[in-house]
Amino acid sequence: MKFCAVKQYFDDENNNNITSGASTTMIPLPNVESHPLAILITYCKKHLKIKANNADNKKETEKEMEQYEQELLKKVMPQELTELILAANYLNFKEALDFFCRAVASAIQNKSIEFVRKFFGLESDFELGEEEKLREEFAWSFEGVDED
């Protein structure tokens, strides 16, 4: 069970000896919205399916998973990534959380400051001259970063 929060829920249920014979068990997920939940469920199912198909061949599993992840990223908008990260974090779904965080990281890697500000929807709130001072001090980190 990849959604660790949900697993915890089921474990707790068993501990309280509730009969699991009831046909509907509603699990409240107040902090997860519909759209990211759908994507996470698809991701999880795909992950398990690929793993099952390639039980003997770890390299094949990794390769197929990478291909699927590339396809998925093309369909997801940057704004949706926030929701996906929050959802994966709430559900305690480590693989998806790492995947989406890595996706955000590669989107901003070595990009210009203006690009990153736009991506995150940020505005500079530094005092006059503070930004210049930081740029000078960390000049070594700006090597290879895109120009504004």
Partner 1 sequence: MYFPTSGGFLEKKRLSHFRRFQLIESEPTTPPSKAYCLNKGRMVCSAESTSKRQKPEEADRISNLPKSLLCRILSFLTTKEAVVTSILSSRWKTLWTLVPKLDFDYYELTTTSSSAEVQSHKRYNFNFAHIVSRVWALRGASHVQKFRLHWDHGVYDPVHMDTWVRATIARGVEDIDLHIDPNSNRSFYLPCSLFNCKTLIALKLSGNFEYDTPPSSSIVFPSLKILHLEFNFNSCDYLFTLPTLCPVLQDLSVKVHCWYADWHCKFISPTLKRLHLYMKFDELPYKLEIKAPALEYLNFGGHLDSILLEDLSNLVEVVIDIDVDLTKIDYYEHYGSRAWDFIGELCDIKSLHLSANTTEFLCNASEFDPPVFHNLSFLKVKGPCMLHVLPHLLQVTPNLAVLVVEKEERNFFSCEKGESFTCDMILYEEPLQQVVRKCLSSCLTTLHYEGFEGLKNELKLVKHFLKRAKVLKTMKISSYNLNSEEKLCVLKELLLFPRHSRSCQIVFS
Residue among 52, 77, 106, 147 that touches partner 1 (CB under 8 A): 106
Regarding 82 and contact with partner 1 (CB under 8 A), the answer is yes
Residue 89 contacts residue 97 (beta carbons within 8 Å)? yes
CB of 38 vs partner 1, minimal distance in Å: 7
User: Which one-letter DSSP state was computed for residue 121?
Assistant: T
Regarding 24 and contact with partner 1 (CB under 8 A), the answer is yes
Place of tokens 């093309």: 74
Number of shown-chain residues binding partner 1 (CB under 8 A): 63
Helix (H, G, I), strand (E, B) or coil at 130: helix
Can you give the length of the chain in residues? Answer: 148
Q: Report the b/e string of 16-36 with b at 16+ CB within 10 A.
A: eeeeeeeeeeeeebeebeeeb
Residue among 48, 62, 67, 141 that touches partner 1 (CB under 8 A): 141
Regarding 4 and contact with partner 1 (CB under 8 A), the answer is no
Give CA separation, 144 vs 88, 99, 109, 111, 117, in Å.
32, 25, 10, 9, 18
CB of 35 vs partner 1, minimal distance in Å: 9
Distance of CA 137 to the CA centre of its chain: 32
Regarding 46 and contact with partner 1 (CB under 8 A), the answer is no
Residue among 4, 31, 48, 71 that touches partner 1 (CB under 8 A): 31
Regarding 27 and contact with partner 1 (CB under 8 A), the answer is yes
Q: Which parts of this chain interact with partner 1 (CB under 8 A)? A: 6, 9, 12-13, 16, 18, 24-34, 37-38, 41, 56-57, 78-79, 81-82, 85-86, 89, 97-98, 101-102, 104-106, 108-110, 113, 116-117, 119-126, 131, 134-145
